[in-house]
């Protein structure tokens, strides 16, 4: 079947106008408020996800025997600090 005219993907070429571009000053304030709330929500969700990952990694390492921990170079008392160091490296690559 051959179509005469093919449309581009509609989701790709539609951009929602920003509220501050609509002319009234209140729309700019509302737009900034929405962006700030969105940013705060993303930061909060990122912190929650990171904390859940940290706790899971600590629990996983605490389940290992002392001999297994020594094989990977970690003492039982250093588990939390080691996990924190590894997660810090993943979040902020240097």
For the cut 50, the answer to whether the pLDDT of residue 94 exceeds it is no
User: Which residues touch 34 (CB under 8 Å, ≥6 apart)?
Assistant: 19
- Residue 77 DSSP class: G
For the cut 80, the answer to whether the pLDDT of residue 35 exceeds it is yes
Q: How far apart are CA 57 and CA 80, in angstroms?
A: 9
**Half-sphere exposure of 82 toward its Cβ, with a 13 Å CA cutoff?**
16
Of 8 and 46, the structure prediction assigns the larger pLDDT to 46
Is the overall model pTM greater than 0.75, yes or no? no
Of 24 and 73, the structure prediction assigns the larger pLDDT to 73
Q: How far apart are CA 49 and CA 41, in angstroms?
A: 12
Tokens 């000053």 appear where?
Answer: 25
The whole-number pLDDT of residue 27 equals 65
Q: How far apart are CA 53 and CA 87, in angstroms?
A: 9
The whole-number pLDDT of residue 1 equals 47
């Amino acid at each position: 079947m051959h179509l005469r005219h093919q449309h581009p993907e509609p989701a790709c070429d539609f951009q929602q106008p920003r509220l501050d571009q609509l002319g009234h000053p209140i729309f700019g304030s509302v737009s900034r408020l929405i962006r700030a709330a969105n940013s705060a929500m993303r930061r909060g969700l990122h912190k929650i996800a990171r904390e859940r990952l940290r706790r899971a990694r600590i629990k996983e390492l605490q389940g290992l025997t002392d001999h297994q921990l020594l094989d990977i170079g970690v003492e039982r008392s250093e588990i939390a600090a080691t996990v924190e160091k590894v997660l810090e490296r993943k979040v902020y690559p240097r």
